Structure 1
Amino acid sequence: MPGLYLLALLVSAAGIAALDARFRLAFWAAPGRTAGAIVLGTAFFVAWDAVGIATGVFVKGDSPALLGLDLAPHLPLEEPVFLAFLCYLALVVDAAARRRVTRRRDPATRSAEAP
């Protein structure tokens, strides 16, 4: 089914955004910094993909789940969406891990929290 992969990416991003909003981990804690990191990270990885495509290392596979729109040869629309999702997910996971480590090290914050 065309577009299934893009839909899965968007649903996954919405789930991560819901967790982010609930716990104020990345975007809801620092929207400008998070947006900047996502844009820079996505641009870096798209450039990386472009080099891989130009050298013949990366090629677009055939999948009925892809929408069928290419931004460039061997660069489907879903690729930058995936890369942005990957960057956002990494920021949320990093923020959650840092918060967890901080709370484990600081007993004052643990006693203030509900069990």
Structure 2
Amino acid sequence: MPGLYLAGLVVSLVGMTVLDARFRLFFWRAPWRAAAVTAIGMVFFVVWDVAGVAAGIFFIGPQRVLTGLVVAPEVPVEELFFLLLLCYTTMNAFGAVRPLVTRALDRRRT
């Protein structure tokens, strides 16, 4: 079913956004800083992908669930959504864990 993977990625991104908004983890805490961090992460991983494709390591496999749209040779549009989800999930996790670590360190000091 074409587009199924992209739909799953979009649903996951919506879920990350809801969590972020509810708990003010990343974009809802500091939007400009979050946008910069996300952009830097996306550029890093896109360069990584391009290098992997050039080295023959990364390639598009079976495409039954992909849309068939590519942004570059061997780089489907779904890859950009996946990289965005990867960056967003990582930063939301960091935003969730940071206060826990801070509290634990504060307890240790007292």
TM-score (ref. length: structure 2): 0.92
The residue matched to 1:44 in structure 2 has which SS?
Answer: helix
Displaced runs of 4 or more, over 2 A: 103-107
Unpaired segments of 5 or more residues in structure 1? 108-115
Q: Distance in 1 between matches of 2:103 and 2:18?
A: 22
Report deviation, 1:50: 0.4
Cα deviations across residues 21-73 of structure 1 (Å, max 9, x unaligned)? 01101000011111111111111101111011011111111131101101111
Amino acid at match of 2:94: D
The residue matched to 1:9 in structure 2 has which SS?
Answer: helix
Amino acid at match of 2:75: L
Number of positions where the alignment pairs a residue of Structure 1 with one of Structure 2:
107
1:99 aligns with 2:99: yes
Q: What does residue 47 of structure 1 align with? A: 47
Unpaired segments of 5 or more residues in structure 2? none
Identity, in percent, stands at: 50
1:3 aligns with 2:16: no
Q: What does residue 65 of structure 1 align with? A: 65
The residue matched to 1:48 in structure 2 has which SS?
Answer: helix
1:15 aligns with 2:15: yes
Report deviation, 1:106: 3.8
